[in-house]
Structure 1
Amino acid sequence: MDSVKNKPEQDRGNAQSSKGLFLSLKWKVVLLFSLVLFIINAGLAGMGYLQQRKLFDTYQAQILDQHHRQVRSLLESSIYRLEQIALMIPALSEAATTSKKLALTEKLERFFKHSETTLQIDWGLEEAAYYSSDNKLQFNWQTGALDDSFLELVKSVNRLEIPSNTIYCDVRCSQYVAVPLLDRGQHAGVLLVGQSLADLIIDFNELAKADVAIVNRPKQHEQLQGRNRYLTNWRRYIIASSNLDRSIPLLQSTADAIEMENLLHNRYTTILDRNHYALSLIPVSSDISAFSADFIIASNITPVVNQIQQATTQSVIIGIIGFSVSELLLALFLWQPMKRLLMISDSLPLLAKNAFREVRDKLTVKHPDRYRDEIDIAGDSAIQLTYTLERLHNEIKTNTDNLIKRGEELAVERDFLNTIMDSAQAIILTQNCNGAILTINTEGGEFIGIRNYERGTRHFCDLFMNVEDIKEMKHVMLRLRDGMISSYQHDAGSLSADGRNRTISWVHSPLTGINDDNEPVILSVGLDITDREVAEQRLAWMASHDPLTELHNRRNFQVEFDKILTLAERYHHSTALIFFDLDQFKYINDTSGHQAGDALLQIVAKKLREITRSTELLARLGGDEFAIVIPETDISDATQFADKLLSELKQITIPLKGHSHRISASIGIATYPEHGSNSDQLLSNADLAMYQAKESGRDQWHIFSSQDQTHEEIKARVTWKDKIEQALAKDNFILFFQPIMEIANGTISHYEVLIRMIESDGTLALPSEFIPVAERTGLIHQINHYVLRTSIQRLSSLNKANHDITLSINLSGRVIDDPELLTQLTHLLNSSGINPERLVFELTETAALADVNAAIDLMSELQALGCRFALDDFGVGFSSFYYLRELPLDIVKIDGSFIKNLTTSTKDQVFVKALTEMASALGKDTVAEFVEDEATLKLLTELGVAHAQGYYIGRPSPEIPVTTTLPSSISI
């Protein structure tokens, strides 16, 4: 009936659609839209290109000029340092020689022989030679055969008597400096020293953040041809590089692309591994001989290229803006057509409400446009669609509603389950009661090595490695099938498809209603916990062992020692404690470096494991201190073991300054129950016995006795311990502040914090009297916390009064073992609101080198909070130069032993200048201690020291002056 009624309206719609000519809407706007868009985008693209090219050229020119200046500066600095070392060698060889009658050649030979480690490791020298005034070679060290070109350099220096330098490159590249020598006031020849340019490459790489390579034309280039470091087209060889893996392919491709002369005058850009590089060539000198060398700088300009790409993106954005303008014009042009289109878009949603007649009434409105377009066709089609949808709606509405709803629900459930199964990082499978695997997810398929699994082809028990696990699983399956348990969880070892042993944590649960035959199905979910177990085992081991020697650490040693003592008390057994440290270990550490010290500790630990039994407790307590507990033994057996230990340690030798050094130890012995009833007493008494052995001449053992002189030491220590505890309880500590002056401008805004203890009679005790006892008894941590808390409170009050003061706080060597220090410091910084940069923590060089790795960790953590770090008593040993580079320091305090006699000692002046220059080159600030007079202060100014501290600057005082000007009594 409705179809008959609507037929006249269909006829009217058909009649209307047949009127007028059709002209597509896109042809009405394409000409105007394309013209405007082309003009805007073309202009923006041109501007973007010019801007990018200008930015790129300017950046490259600046980088090239900067690299030239940096290379020249590093070369000049290296030459100056090498020249200073060469000038210091004669004075040092003179000072190291006891006989004044030796010839200069013999003095130099002895010096180089005995100082070989220092020259190579600390000073970086690789070669040296001494020529007489008539150009004859008298002595050479590590040089091999010298080229004739060196003789010309020596002749020039002998003739002019002024230092000169050169760079010699063949298969390797070195820098040489020749300086004239004086012997008894007469010109005595020339000293030639050399070092590799490798350090310069590293310095340039760190400074410029760019790769650098040194190339030259070696004499034996025929033998080098065919090697990957030989650049055939340039006939050059890559001597050294900051990154050979990247430099070799980069330079090979560049050499194949351009001539080397073109690289000298113009930069060259290329792409390697999706990174953009700009290469430039910097000649080391004007020498064009076969032994000259050139620096080739490869700068990663990928960020600049990315910046240019961003500029291009910016141009595109501007183009989009232009497009938007064009769209605005288009909207104005299409205002009327858009109204018609809007009418259609407003009408079509009514179809969802089944308002078919209302849609037809809206779309049959006539429009005055003489040409028909797509909008007219869309309106006619929509009218036809209303008839079709209306008819279909009436036919299928009742039959399809429930079906669609149910289908959607099933699809959602299916997709959800499939997503869980395939994305879960766990093995999910189903199996029957016989263990046949029915289904398995993607993760499980990869574990068993089958991507497209076929039902029932694998058995679940095949995954287990242990026979007992297989038996247990079969029993569990029967209990799950019979409903005796609702779920079961267990861990089992399994072998994955890639051959690795894995630990899987399984959970099994029965499923019902899955199979049509009502056969029980078990759902098994397995989670790989192998990595977690390994991590837990590693953490547990690290918590109880020393990572360097792999022995028990101090904390775990005391736990195990207490267990042994408990058993000894229960069964009335005696137990011996062997406590020892290595003689002259610090000397070995200072002269050979902490790597040699670490290697020695590992060798000693290995030897101890060889001579001890599994029932004996072996531990490293810290530094070079070791302890061995021997259960069920008496003093006689303990002394026999001590003799064996001394004998075994003597067999360990290490090379030191050209000769073998034998290892020895000082051993203290204490037994339970004679010398103590608990671990603390036994450790303390064994420690005293060890020091008694050391005082008796080292390399021997000593049994603790209360009748020794050490008994008086114990008594004195107990007295001081009581005094310290009372002072802590009654707050009888007081802080003094000693000023540190900035030499350049004479201002004082930096003070070192010094602690004093007020005794019962009102006198002040100096730190040297009570700090050693506090460190031995563990009270040093409370003192450290008091100093830290009081200093920050004083600094906070000064800063609130607008006084910019910096405080240096001395840390005890035991602070490395204090786990609460960082927590307390963080809390104090947050609550006080002070600037962490106003806090400088000082640690003595001896304490820092006792455990370098722990010191580095502590310094890094304090610096992460914003505080700064100073190394006190710097310069005692030559190893200081190495640690100066390794430790994350901000300030270096030069030891007072170099300052006391500075005005009269030339040697001290040479050392202070060398130490200052080395510290300054590494970006460290310097402070000179023990400045006692005006002459010393003026000399420090000439030597380049930045700060001064001493009685001439100001004595320690309980108060901090608010003025920061220099006292009138001091002149600089």
Structure 2
Amino acid sequence: MAGQAKENARFFSLKWKAGLLFSLILIGVNGGLAALGYLQLQHQFVQHQREINQQQAEELRALVLDRFQQLEQVAALTPVIAASQSGESRLAKRLETVFEQNAATLEIDWGLDFAAFFSSNGELLYHWQSEQTLACFKPQVAQVNRTQQPLHWIDCQRGCRQFVAEPLLDQAEYAGVTLLGRPISDLILAFNSITGADIALLSQSAQPGPDPLAGTLAAHWGVGVVARSQADQLLPMLNAAASRIALTQLQGEPQQLTYAGNRYALQIVPLSASSGVHRPQFLIINDITRSVEQIEHSTRTAVIAGLLGLLLSEAVLLLLLWSPMRRLRLLSRALPLLAQNAFAEVQHKLARPIKRIAADEIDVAGGAVLDLAARLEALNLEVRKRAISLIERSEELARERDFVTSLLHNAQVVILTQGSQGQLLSINPEGERVFGCREEQAGKLSFLELIEVAGEMDDPEPYLQRLKRGEIDVYQHDSWVVSDDGCQFSISWVHSRLPAKDVDDLPLLLSIGLDVTERKVAERNLAWLADHDPLTELFNRRRLVAELERLLERSERYDESGALLFIDLDQFKYVNDISGHQAGDALLKIIARQLAQATRSSDILARIGGDEFAMLLPNADVSAAVDVAGKLLDVMKGIELPSKEGSQRISASIGVVLFPDHGVNLQDLMANADLAMYQAKERGRDRWHLFAQDEQIREQMSDSVSLKGKIEWALAEGGFLLHYQPIMEIASRRISHYEVLLRLREADARIVMPGDFIPVAEKTGLIHSIDRLVLREAINRLAELGKAGQQLINLSVNLSGWAVDDPELLPLLKQLLQLRGVRPQQLVFEITETAALADMTAAESFIRELQELGCRFAMDDFGVGFSSFYYLRELPLDIVKIDGSFIRQLPQNRKDQVFVKALVEMASGLGKKTIAEFVEDEATLHMLEEIGVDYVQGYFIGRPQTEIELPTG
């Protein structure tokens, strides 16, 4: 009955099932890809359109601002031109003369069509080309008279114009208000020409004209079009947009409109600079028809390509499945015959397979069916000869044998058995690889003879004997094994006792060994890295601290003395800057090797930082410690690193402390060694310094803390003062600019000079606040001088070396220049040579950014550095300021004259100006003039003053 039910079941071929499923998958995939492509194109289009609208909005605002600035320029020039009218005393008459003489220029070149001038009390002085009432401008005129600040707006209530109201100056005195206007139409045309987009200016104050479309627009949006591009075509399209889109929608994202078969994107750009409550708004219209059509065309193409691919794929699938399905049907008809033991009929049906290049799964299945038929026929014959129990037993034994054999041959562990005397009875292939022997040699070898026990390893023989006697069940240990080819392996062993088969059998041991060589090597490397510096292979800070603590304990217990040396390389950063970090690493290796050769076997040498080393001297007194320090300095002097820039030499500063004399604990001893090292640096470098308890360095640190508090007070309470020292141009004998000098005035009115508080500010991080304060005060001073009519005065501002890395300084400078209306050309920034050399890349980038703003840049204290002329060529300087040490004795010192002349010639050849400091007498001035120096500064020219002496006349 079951077979009959199967025969009556409806048959549906596998090839049709596969084709249907494949079709559904392809339809889903192609449909999804088409939809995804469409959404992606749509998203890209929206993003692109948004970027275009943003760019157009920025362009529109820039055009509006540009035209306001043009009006401001005309307003600023008008009183200047009027002041040049000779013979006229009344301002109104002079203004009328100016406008009558320049009417054509103002109308054609500047686009003016309106001008009016009011007195400081709001009375009309003169108006030009204005037929409207001027009373409507009284609020703006009153505001400018009140604030004396410019005002600009767009007014569309009386014809759409841009207006500017500027303070009116007459002979440097405030005289009233200048009011200028120009039509908005040229702005509309300029925007259309630049962007290609149409634009319309909307205003609630506009009255609808006779055109019925304009009346409809006002009815829907409540605004009128006061100006537009394409006057004839734009208004009907706006009327259609007003009936479909609310005005508030246009003030957010761009809205799309279909009109006359085209697609448009509309967006409102509000304009804040307008008068009254009816602020005009710009409506930007972009034709996006072509972009939308491209998206639709791409989507249609993707869908059609997917359908064609679907049809082609289904045809190929059916073609591929047709023949295999036929052979599969033949195979399915043969399989039921196996259950009927019709083996001969099966072999007959499958005896002639179709010949093909390569067999596939169906061929393999057919062959398997034939093999199965033959196997079943043989099994049927065997079943009759043997009992089922014997067959099951033999199969189980075979599986166990195969498992054990596979385990022994494939396991990545050593597996061996030992006899009662420790002789090897068997060994697996992994054991053969490790021990370098064959299994047939196992009976001649002993386990204990093959392994090596070294170091802290326990001797395994007693434990193995206990294991054989049954006193313990398991024993674990590690050992070394050296194979015949010399390879050394670290093996972790686990031994267990095998049960005897009967009473007379001797006990056997099963030994399993795991190769842990790589783990042991990794552990040794990690242990080495924990105590050593990987670059120099010396001890690291951690190991030094451990050794120092050990020596301090011995010193306390056995009353032993010792010494600690802190070694810091001098100006090692210059090696990295000039030759690169690879050269610096190479030099550190050389130094470490030379220092190691100069130490005793009992001494402990370590690298504790980037360019810092330390040395521990056990059982050393003052004499021994000082001798070692001097020897190390001599070693340093003999080290040099060849490079393309020339041989690099190095020196060091060494701090020496003794224990227990200078400290009985780790913290005090290392702190005192660090202090001693810094004392050596402050006393000229390339020397050692022995720490002394009575030195004043801690008092100096206390003074630094006190100065830090004074700096913070001065920053908060305005305690900093600016002095100005004049700088004269030698050729014209004219004061070209002033250097800004900083002073700190304490609460008791005592003046602190920069040399005292600047180093403390640099160490505490307050230097950034000081740089910004000086910059702010200098720009404010220039702005005040500009208001007083002294726009030609320039200031030279000193910046610290930390200004190069201050990310807030440049944004602050730009903000102050724009806010205070100061020209960047009025500022010269000075930085010392040593500060610039600290980070050449950052210094060069910083200088170029200042020069791009329009500022000039000078290097102060030039000539004291060891690579002055190299950096003169590399840095983009405008001015070089020669250090005063070369100027003080210039008339009497021939060497200074040669040096200054060479420096001036080099700077002049590179297109840079020169300034000489500390000019104290006329003889020095004359000699500098003969050498060719451009500018001079010093007490002979003028002392620093709290105020700038303004030129008279």
The TM-score, its normalising length taken from structure 1, stands at 0.38
The TM-score, its normalising length taken from structure 2, stands at 0.38
Q: Which has the larger radius of gyration?
A: 2
Considering Cα pairs closer than 8 Å and 6+ residues apart, tell me whether 1 or 2 has the greater RCO: 1
